[in-house]
Amino acid sequence: MSVLRVFCLFFFALPLLFGMNSLAMAERGGATLQVKEVLNRAMEIQTDPELAGEENRQERARLIRQLIADNFDAQTMAENSLENHWGALPASQRNEFRDLFIVLFQDSYTRMVLNFLVEEDVRYGEEEIPADEGRKVQTTIMRVSEHIPVDYTLHREAGRWLITDVEIDGVSIVNNYRNSFNRVIRASSFSDLLERLRAQKEVIMAHET
């Protein structure tokens, strides 16, 4: 199991104790360019000499968190992570869950970038068009000791491509969340899940202050 897969499993399980039309053809490649921009910017932040060192970790984290907020559709990820449970929830619980998920996801993905991503040799493969007219961008991180496949799922929102899932060495971040959330809901209740997520958010907020 690769180091990156271990990071994915650790950070995204959460410690919960828990047919192509002409338009599609014309837009082919746009999602790949978006992924490239995000990865290049993340590596710039990680390798900027003025941001180097543990004393600048908090500033790097702030910049990466903003990069994630601007380029990931965390609201859609929140809905997909609950799948069938989402439709049965009242609006108040949906809104609270969405807000909590966004905080937790951005924190987890930021820590993964800080702890793992440096200046990488990234190879870009096919840009697939799934049945939902979204995009799947295939990439591979090329390292001396390992080649790590990382696939990005994107959809079009307000005229731009946003990332809705990342599959690292075959492990989907959204599926990881979904499995963790389902375990808690089945074992107790959705209210218990919310309580655990609130506690997670408090830990994150305390760490940032």
Residue 184 has a pLDDT of 95
- Tell me the per-residue pLDDT of 75-111, one tens digit each, with 9 for 90 and over: 999 999 998 899 999 999 999 999 999 999 999 999 9
151: nearest Cα among 163, 162, 137, 161 = 137
Residue 21 has a pLDDT of 42
CATH of residue 25: 3.10.450.710
Rg of the chain on CA atoms, in Å: 18
DSSP 8: H
List, for the chain, all residue ranges whose pLDDT scores fall below the cut of 50.
15, 17-26
Residue 200 lies in a domain: yes
Q: How far is CA 121 from the centre of its chain?
A: 20
* β-strand pairing of 135-142 with 171-172: unpaired
Residue 81 has a pLDDT of 96
Residue 74 lies in a domain: yes
Residue 94 lies in a domain: yes
Domain that holds residue 140: 3-11+21-208
Q: Give how many domains the chain has, as a whole number.
A: 1
Q: What is the pTM of this model?
A: 0.85
Residue 202 lies in a domain: yes
Residue 7 has a pLDDT of 55
Residue 154 lies in a domain: yes
